[in-house]
Structure 1
Amino acid sequence: MKKGLLIIISGPSGVGKGTVRDFFMKDNSLNLTYSISMTTRKPRENEVDGVDYLFVSKEAFEKAIENGELLEWAEFVGNYYGTPLCQVERLRNEGKNVLLEIEVQGAQQVSEKVPDAITIFMIPPTMDELENRIRGRKSEAEEVIQERLAKAEKEMKLIKDYKYVVCNDDPELAAQYIGLIVKRHMNLAKDE
């Protein structure tokens, strides 16, 4: 059995990664499975533990770091985010194409460890639209919103580090583009 692909989608907070993901994950021909990230932040309304994230304590996360159990991890606005390594390897070894939806810092870590990872950076149509999306969540204090916007400005400069860039002006169209990227790499893997 061929090892599955590793697909990384990252981009600024509020760009709509989750919305786009919901569209292309429905395409069974992509053989995708979503790798659930671990975080120490509190769940937002409608987020489910074990579905959207693995919500853990700060102590449990720090122990996972210490034990080398994470493929990547980052700290942002006082919370940790990371990807459990054993889960990703198990799924790829089962032939599944594994999707990571992670922060830019984490994407850099994974790219160093897994050079053949397919890296996709999602951008907003404009920075004003990004701000509207973040504010539209109505889940964070103004200080956190400003931190997210400042971080987004820095992250946008890292586009050059990704193999692909997809603009999320229309989530359904962005999902179609990502689906085409994955299919292209699946076909290339068949030819190897």
Structure 2
Amino acid sequence: MLRRPLAGLAAAALGRALSDGMSGPRPVVLSGPSGAGKSTLLKKLLQEHGSIFGFSVSHTTREPRPGEENGKDYYFVTREVMQRDIAAGDFIEHAEFSGNLYGTSKAAVRAVQAMNRICVLDVDLQGVRNIKKTDLRPIYIFVQPPSLDVLEQRLRQRNTETEESLAKRLAAARADMESRNKEGSSHWSVLRRPTSCVLAGFLPAMPCQPLPVEARPTSK
């Protein structure tokens, strides 16, 4: 299922991606609303192809949710520590949502690089815009829920949101989807189907295969 050009990715290739834009296989940036299915997609991707892809663990100042592990789901740090490291230039991108900071550190990406794997980053659209200002030239994939009603159902089923935080997430999701439509061809839309269908469209399209129905580029 996986295309051969991906299997031979070396650490030096990803290093060039981080420094000068690179001409070979590129890192992957997943973006999309909370609850759209990014975590499910990532989990399945790493389970089935963990020797090829590696996840760049993000930092956040929010509190861990039940079942989340430090260093696996996020690096949970204080705002003071994260602001210090941002000021020191240790982050590729960072953004703030609902009073909490989120960001991707250079060290987290280098950790994936050291394992000779294609780096996968999970960031919001604010973070994507910051990444676009750097020399990192990843493949952008926007994971979109079937509808805002379905997204609201998923977020409620988590039982981790207050009505206030739920309203903020839905408003942010609506803004993300509208923004993605305006920004157009820099993202692919991946409609939220069963994971196997998403992967069937996701993997063959990387890095230079014809795009299947599940991962067609958005129109300009």
Settle same-fold status: TM greater than 0.5: yes
Which protein, 1 or 2, shows the higher relative CO under an 8 Å CA cutoff with sep ≥ 6? 1
Residue deviations 1:107-133, cap 9 Å, x none? 111122135210000101111101111
2:217 paired residue number: none
2:13 paired residue number: 3
Q: How many residues align?
A: 185
Q: Distance in 1 between matches of 2:132 and 2:200?
A: 24
1:181 paired residue number: 205
Q: Which amino acid is the alignment partner of residue 106 of structure 2?
A: L
Secondary structure (helix, strand or coil) at the match of 1:143 reads helix
2:69 paired residue number: 48
Instruction: Name whichever of 133-142 and 154-163 sits farther off.
Output: 154-163
Q: Which amino acid is the alignment partner of residue 32 of structure 1?
A: F
Residue deviations 1:117-162, cap 9 Å, x none? 1000010111110111111111011000000000111100232263
Unmatched 5+ residue regions in structure 1?
Answer: 186-192
Q: Among 127, 130, 134, which residue is 1:106 paired with?
A: 127
Q: Among 180, 186, 193, which residue is 1:162 paired with?
A: 186
Residue deviations 1:84-116, cap 9 Å, x none? 113314533664210001111111111221352
Alignment of 1:62-81 (within 5 A): 62-81=83-102
Please tell me whether the aligned partners of residues 51 and 117 of structure 2 are also in contact (alpha carbons under 8 angstroms).
no
2:17 paired residue number: none
1:12 paired residue number: 33
Q: Distance in 2 between matches of 1:158 and 1:48?
A: 31
Q: Distance in 2 between matches of 1:162 and 1:14?
A: 22
- Residue 23 (1) aligns with residue 44 (2): yes
How far residue 30 of structure 1 moved from its aligned partner, in angstroms, is 6.8
Q: Among 117, 142, 145, which residue is 1:124 paired with?
A: 145
State the Cα RMSD in Å.
Answer: 1.9
Secondary structure (helix, strand or coil) at the match of 1:116 reads coil
Please tell me whether the aligned partners of residues 122 and 167 of structure 1 are also in contact (alpha carbons under 8 angstroms).
yes
- Residue 33 (1) aligns with residue 89 (2): no
How far residue 48 of structure 1 moved from its aligned partner, in angstroms, is 0.5
1:189 paired residue number: none
TM score, norm. by length of structure 1: 0.88
Q: Among 103, 121, 145, which residue is 1:82 paired with?
A: 103
109 and 30 in structure 1: CA distance in 2 versus 1, 3 angstrom threshold: farther
Of all paired residues, the percent bearing the same amino acid is 31
TM score, norm. by length of structure 2: 0.78
Q: Distance in 2 between matches of 1:184 and 1:27?
A: 21
